[in-house]
Amino acid sequence: MKRRIVYAVVVMMVVLLLGACGGEQSSGSENKPTAPDKFLQIGSGPMGSGWYPITTAMTEIYSEYFDGLNATQLEGGSTANLKSLDVGDIQIGLNYTPDFISAMEGGDGFDKPIEDLAAIAAIYPVYQTIATTAENEDIHSIEDIVDKHIFLGPKGGGGPVAFWKMMAEYGIDEQTIEEAGGKVSYGNYSDGASMLKDGNVDVFLGGGAPFIPALQEIEITSPIKVIPIDEDKIESIEEKGLGITAGALPGGTYKGLEEEVPTYVMETMITADSNLDEDYVYNLTKFFWENLDTFEEQVPERAENFTLDTALNGIDPEKLHPGAKRYYEENDLIE
């Protein structure tokens, strides 16, 4: 009899202990939201780009804060990520604000409109820099570059799309440049900067946050000069809602650049498949903004510009995903 009693007590203690342990194990997952799918693919930039470490941090955050979610990244680019969203290869991705609008309208870089897109956030500004070397004494304004050889960065990237939209404010297009005896070339930033240094191109276009490493490398031996954008032209394009906003390249960005130079700005933004569940996107938005310390640790130069105050820069609130919109309403960014 005593053995039976002792045995029953032991069994009861084991059951209680296992129950307690099970409760502890489940309590952590109970506090985490469950994603509608086990996998999240995030469209990034090429390895070595400024976007790649940002999306690396995003995969870590989302994998940790959702129950059972496996977040990974896919190398891409601005227009490439928007097209990947269209075919379902990714669920969210980074891109530039003008490309987002072009994608929805079927404009530059897109054969047809992409319907199922929705904005999550603008995360940091990319300052567009139109530069020449200091020794080019005949180039001081946008009007001076029409008959010159202009390097526009990677073909199909976000920079050329925004450049032509900005130039439209001056009545300039590619035909205008060709008829004036000018020329347009494309390529990676390093090659373009070398071509500028060697005199093989006269004008360089690039985007930075705010500096462009390729320009910093050549200015050691070939000081550069940044061409300003007229402020009335920037105000005009900003009013058109093309995803391009006003900005100024800070003084000190390059040697000899003592004062800020007015220019136009594109925002790096996060875009989602508009069909994603509202609660899911609400939490994707929430976890991004509530884990800024991760970005500050891993991408400090860019993360210093990550702020809720500018989360809607260049974004029409009507283009927000309902889940993201709800988060911003709760934080008084939208009435």
CATH of domain 126-266: 3.40.190.10
Going by C-alpha positions, the residue among 118, 127, 76, 71 that lies closest to residue 316 is 118
Beta-carbon count within 10 A of 141 CB? 11
Residue with tokens 């992409």: 114
The alpha helices in the chain, defined as continuous H runs, are 2-30, 51-65, 78-87, 97-105, 158-168, 174-179, 189-198, 213-218, 231-239, 278-289, 292-298, 300-303, 322-330
Average pLDDT over residues 9-30: 43
In the predicted model, is pLDDT for residue 17 greater than 60? no
In the predicted model, is pLDDT for residue 138 greater than 60? yes
How is the chain split into domains, by residue range?
A: 39-124+268-330, 126-266
Confidence (pLDDT) at 108 = 79
- The DSSP H or E segment spanning 321 is none
The band of 12, judged by pLDDT with boundaries at 50, 70 and 90, is: very low
The answer to whether domain 39-124+268-330 and domain 126-266 are alike in fold is yes
Confidence (pLDDT) at 28 = 52
CATH of domain 39-124+268-330: 3.40.190.10
Please give the structure tokens belonging to residue 322.
């309902």
- Average per-residue pLDDT for the chain: 89
In the predicted model, is pLDDT for residue 185 greater than 80? yes
In the predicted model, is pLDDT for residue 267 greater than 80? yes
Residue with tokens 């939209």: 165
In the predicted model, is pLDDT for residue 199 greater than 60? yes
Phi, psi of 298 (to 5 degrees): -95, -30
- Confidence (pTM): 0.77
Average pLDDT over residues 133-160: 91
Confidence (pLDDT) at 269 = 97
Q: Among the listed ranges 61-70, 95-104, 140-149, which one has the minimum average pLDDT value? A: 95-104
Average pLDDT over residues 4-16: 43
Interatomic CA distance for residues 44 and 42, integer angstroms: 6
Confidence (pLDDT) at 13 = 47
Please give the structure tokens belonging to residue 158.
């976000």
In the predicted model, is pLDDT for residue 115 greater than 80? yes
Beta-carbon count within 10 A of 201 CB? 24
> 220-259 pLDDT, tens per residue?
999 999 999 999 999 999 998 888 989 999 999 999 899 9
If one compares 21 and 83, the residue with the highest pLDDT of the two is: 83
In the predicted model, is pLDDT for residue 163 greater than 60? yes
Report percent pLDDT > 90 for the chain.
73
Average pLDDT over residues 198-219: 91
Q: Could you please report the per-residue DSSP string of 62-123?
A: HHHHSBT-EEEEE---HHHHHHHHHHTS-SEEEEEHHHHHHHHHT-TT-SS---SEEEEEEE
Average pLDDT over residues 191-197: 94
Please give the structure tokens belonging to residue 271.
């875009």
